[in-house]
A and B are shown apart, each in its own frame.
Chain A
Amino acid sequence: DVKVTQSSRYLVKRTGEKVFLECVQDMDHENMFWYRQDPGLGLRLIYFSYDVKMKEKGDIPEGYSVSREKKERFSLILESASTNQTSMYLCASSVFSDNEQFFGPGTRLTVL
């Protein structure tokens, strides 16, 4: 079974803090994705990566950056957290770009 894990289920940070959200997949998938989920808006893509050290902007990249130094790990970085980044963050991976994505359990981030 594909396993996608995220470093924290719940996280509380203060405005202006630098925040790291980690995602690890164990199935040697090429593609990894970061989404945020907000009520009434569904899931929106922040960044994705098709290979190590490669990244592409999604639909809402502002205020975020990513890092993929190893194939299995994809990190989402909030350089200076703001209250409007309070959300559920979901990581996903897929073997090919047109295949189904497998999701992690999510990190619920609250920025105070």
Chain B
Amino acid sequence: AQKVTQAQTEISVVEKEDVTLDCVYETRDTTYYLFWYKQPPSGELVFLIRRNSFDEQNEISGRYSWNFQKSTSSFNFTITASQVVDSAVYFCALLTYNQGGKLIFGQGTELSVKP
């Protein structure tokens, strides 16, 4: 079965704190893709990153970084020096070919960054 689990339903931090959003996935496929999306209060999901299963290199983009570890089936997302504008719901998602190319989303983590 394919599944994505985001165990943290809500996280609240104070501005400038670092915060890590956890994502654990399940799949038996060897080829798959992992994604993170941000959904601000406006409602539109914004694509953040796509990672394929053969590339375990960590990635950094400004204050955002991602840690992909196949050994623990995790794809965690860290925001460094958080800002109020980072407040949003963040979704992790999995795509495998055995699912016909369908995205499987986690339940989402609502991040609240307070000034």
Interface of A toward B, CB cutoff 8 Å: 31, 33, 40-45, 48, 50, 56, 58-59, 88, 90, 92, 97-106, 108
Contact = CB atoms under 8 A, between A and B. Distances in A.
Contacts of A100: 35, 47, 50
Interface residues of B, number: 22
B44 A56 contact: no
Contacts of A45: 102-103
A45 B103 CA distance: 8
A106 B97 CA distance: 26
B43 A106 contact: yes
B50 A40 contact: no
A71 B45 CA distance: 22
A9 to B, nearest CB: 8
The 3 A-B residue pairs with the shortest CB-CB distance, nearest first, are A97-B101, A103-B45, A42-B105
B77 interface: no
B44 A103 contact: yes
Contacts of B42: 105
A96 B111 CA distance: 30
B100 interface: yes
Contacts of A48: 102
A3 to B, nearest CB: 11
A58 B43 contact: no
